[in-house]
Chains A and B, each alone.
Chain A
Amino acid sequence: MTGTLTGSNLARMRQGCYRVLAAGFDRPAPDLTERIRSGILALEDLGLGMFSFAPQLRKWDESLESAQPEAVSNEYVRLFGSGMDGALCSLIESQHLGVNLVGDPARYAGRIEDLMRRSGFEAQLDDRPPDHLGVELELASALCDAEANARAGGDAAESWLRWQQELIDVMAMWIPGLASTVGERDKVGVFRTLSQAASAFLIHEHDIVRMLIDSVPGGPE
């Protein structure tokens, strides 16, 4: 390992991290665990080990390997499924933050929709609101994809990074809190390690995106 990355590869690696984390918060499906684990393996090939959040992603991978699929499915429903009083740990930002006032949940969702619109994306119709953790992570992944393409074309991708920073600032407001709530309540361990990995990755993203923006050069080619 040389320790040298192209900017495009770094964006691809970050994109992959967002995608596997988003998949981790998906409803459990028969082959989901295998897809996630092969995703993490692919990230290792892209140089995951060089980054500070690698131990947390590896711990998640280990807990996926050792957990019983049925127990994971049941725990997902217990933690994130909506009961009479809402989910034990809501994956929806406005619900997690306890926003109950009329109109406020729409404001939270609208913020993500507005970011999607400005960056040229549109959510496919499903039953998740725009401020769902999975949607936010997938949007971040899409922004990384656009950044990687821009970099591959020789562009510094500053506008993509700025949108990414905006989204990270939103996620940083609630994902660490969600991680600690899930950590306290998860009985199986998979979602505790997953939310810790998401939190660690987000802390890293918060810093690395800011540094990438700060280092966008205005100098000559």
Chain B
Amino acid sequence: MKWVACSDRFDWSEIDIEVLDAPGWCDDPVIPEIDEVGFIGCAEDLDKAHLERRLRSEGFDPLGVPLVLLTELDRRSPERIASRVASSGARSTEYVGSGPEHLKPVMPPTVSRRSFLTFRSPTYRSVPHPDDSCAAGDGCRACVDVCPHKALEWSRGAIQSDRIACAGCGRCVSTCPTGAMVNPAWTPAQLQAEVAGLIATASQSIGIRFGCARGARPEPASDWFELIVPCVGMLPPHWVIGPLLMGAGSVSVSACACDMEVDADQRAGEAVAFARSWLDAAGIAAETRIVDEPQEDLPATLGIVGARNPFADDGAAAVAAALGEVLIEGDRSPIGVVTIDEVACTGCEMCSTVCPTGALQAIPGDGVLGIDFDPSLCTACRQCTDRCPEEDAIHLLPTVDSAELAAGQRNLIVLDLAQCVRCGGTVAPQAALARIASALGDDAETLKQITSVCLDCRGTTMVF
């Protein structure tokens, strides 16, 4: 890959990358006619929106083009710049492409009727949109539940997104149990590649500070790098731990700089608190690993092998496997343990149907129906408990319990199935029929019609 950069403030001969020198490039970003190209500019000089317009005009997808914006801190060290460039290049390899549904036009605000008549052409902000792996068709609406801007709506088995209402906070992306909610500018795979790129090029222990993309942030300490996320309020605990398992010495989460969601700092604080508890429970001194403010003295890397993909869909289970035996509970746990009440459950299979990851599965047997649970697939999304039609039939304990994870898949309940009097097929679980009977009261005739024959036979059989 070639990099376009100007040498006004830096001598590129000190770094082993191929640079197309373009003096004054930040003021007038010229796009060369080559395919594999990235851009390096100075954060204080480059008008990013202008560059994006230029790239779009030249037929490039701006979200897919690596852009390194160097700060004053970066320019002090060739090694630091090399790390930034390497991580940006690594990030771009994970770019999945964007569609019109991912781009929200943004117009500068108008202040008078006259300014409305002449305005800057729109810039675009990348927003999340569900891909084909979305489980909304089975009833999942985990993203809708966490959206603070009411930009997402579940309608007839699909997620409708309102791009204008979306503020791009990213909570839906990190919450989606199947990884279906994609913001092409901020995929978990890109974040992971960026961390991996930074760590691979560093000659010593580095710190990673998560920063909010929508507001100004102070410069981190010298051996620290900033990992920009849409908003720190989106971070789940295992993402906070993730860089440590990939080789970073410490992590930190900066304060939310945008104030677009009032509870962003609170959510980030909860994720950090849970991550610290997790590390402490695993016997790792959390106070030196997850710090409030970046410190100059960084500890050596943890040296734990494994969990190289903590940002992936199954990242929480990977982090749990890497950190070993722990037992911690908390509302922000990214893993849960489901239990089913044998008396209240009617075997309607709503929980296994709606479970987006397949952690809950209905297993039909000979005259029985079993509901199985695999904790390593559970993301504690609460879709099973929220959608269960019965009161107190299913419970989710948000917990990282290594014993439960090690136990693997287990059966939660077995229900007897009623047989069709005509064909011998399955009518429904006996518990469901008992529930129907209690609802119908003494209407024995209707009850018999509903409960004695299966759906296939019901259309062809009159039962009296």
Contact = CB atoms under 8 A, between A and B. Distances in A.
Interface stretch (A46-54, A73-81, A100-108): A46-54
Interface string B93-118: 00000011101110101111111111
Contacts, number: 97
B105 A204 contact: yes
B164 A207 contact: yes
Nearest to A56: B100
Contacts of A49: 56-59
Interface string B140-184: 000000000000000000000001100000000000000000000
Interface stretch (A85-93, A116-124, A209-217): A209-217
Contact of B103 (A3, A6, A52): A52
Interface string A145-181: 0000001001010000000000000000000000000
Interface string B37-75: 000000000000110011011110100000000000000
A217 B117 contact: no
B117 A154 contact: yes
| Interface size, B (range) | 20 to 34
B460 interface: no
Interface of B is mostly: mixed
B121 interface: yes
A215 B56 contact: no
A208 interface: yes
B124 interface: yes
Nearest to A176: B101
Interface in A113-143: none
Contacts of A8: 117
Interface in A169-221: 199-200, 203-204, 207-208, 210-212, 214-217, 219-221
Nearest to A48: B57
A7 B113 contact: no
A208 B105 contact: yes
A4 B56 contact: no
Nearest to A197: B100
B215 interface: no
A216 to B, nearest CB: 7
Nearest to A200: B100
B105 A221 contact: no
Tell which of B53, B99, B121 has the most Cβ of chain A within 10 Å: B121
13 contacts: A1-B53, A1-B54, A1-B57, A3-B120, A49-B57, A49-B59, A54-B57, A200-B100, A207-B163, A211-B107, A217-B112, A219-B112, A219-B113
Interface of A: 1, 3-8, 10, 47, 49-56, 58, 151, 154, 156, 199-200, 203-204, 207-208, 210-212, 214-217, 219-221
